[in-house]
A = this chain, B = another copy of it.
C-alpha cells in the first residue's frame, strides 16, 4: 500500500503549479520544489496526473473545512462571507491564493474533458460549494431573512455558476474581483433578501 504523501509534496505541487502552470508542470519541477529526487516522487505517484489527483483531494479537504467554518451571526451573513472568500483579490489577504494558482486551476478545468480524474475532483468541488450555499439559503428562509419563494438548490447552482464565471474572467481578462463581488452582493440583496433586511458594509445583517 503506498504511503500517504507527505505534506511537503502537496506544498511543492502548489508552488510548482504557480511557477510553471499546469501545462509545463513536470515531476522534476515538483521534485525540485521539495528537495526530493524524481525517483522518490515516483515511489508515491506513477504520473503527474496521479499526483495532481491527490493534490486536488487535499485541496478539496481544505475547501470543505473552509466552507464549514465560514463566519457570521446568521445564515445571510455567512452567505455573504462565503461568496466573498471566493472572490478575493490575490495577495489582498495573506492566505489568498496566488493569481498564478488561479490560472493553473483554470488550466486544469480545461484539461478535465481529457482527464476523467480531474473532472471527477472538480465536480466534487462544484457539488460541495452548491450544497453549502443551498444550506445557507434554506437556513436563511427558515430564519425569515430570505424570500421563501426562492428554491435553495436553484439559487445555489446559479450563484455557483456566477462565482465560476468571476474566476474565469479574472484569469482570462483580468476582470477585477471587486466588481464581481459588488454585483453579486446586489443580486443577493435585491433577489434573495426579504424586504427590510439589509447587510452593512461590515457584513452585519440588519432587519
Contact = CB atoms under 8 A, between A and B. Distances in A.
B110 A110 contact: yes
A91 interface: no
A44 interface: no
Contacts of A174: 119, 123
Contact of A126 (B154, B166, B173): B173
Prevailing SS type, chain A contact patch: helix
Interface string A147-184: 00000001001101111111111011111000110011
A114 B100 CA distance: 10
B154 A186 contact: yes
Contacts of A109: 106, 110, 168, 171-172
Nearest to A151: B186
A173 B122 contact: yes
Given A110-B110, A191-B191, A161 B173 contact: no
A107 interface: yes
A190 interface: yes
A52 interface: no
Point out which of A161, A167, A187 has the most chain B C-beta atoms below 10 A from its C-beta.
A161
A202 interface: no
A203 to B, nearest CB: 21
A59 interface: no
A2 interface: no
Interface in A191-206: 191
9 contacts: A21-B114, A100-B113, A110-B172, A112-B172, A157-B179, A163-B165, A164-B165, A164-B168, A187-B191
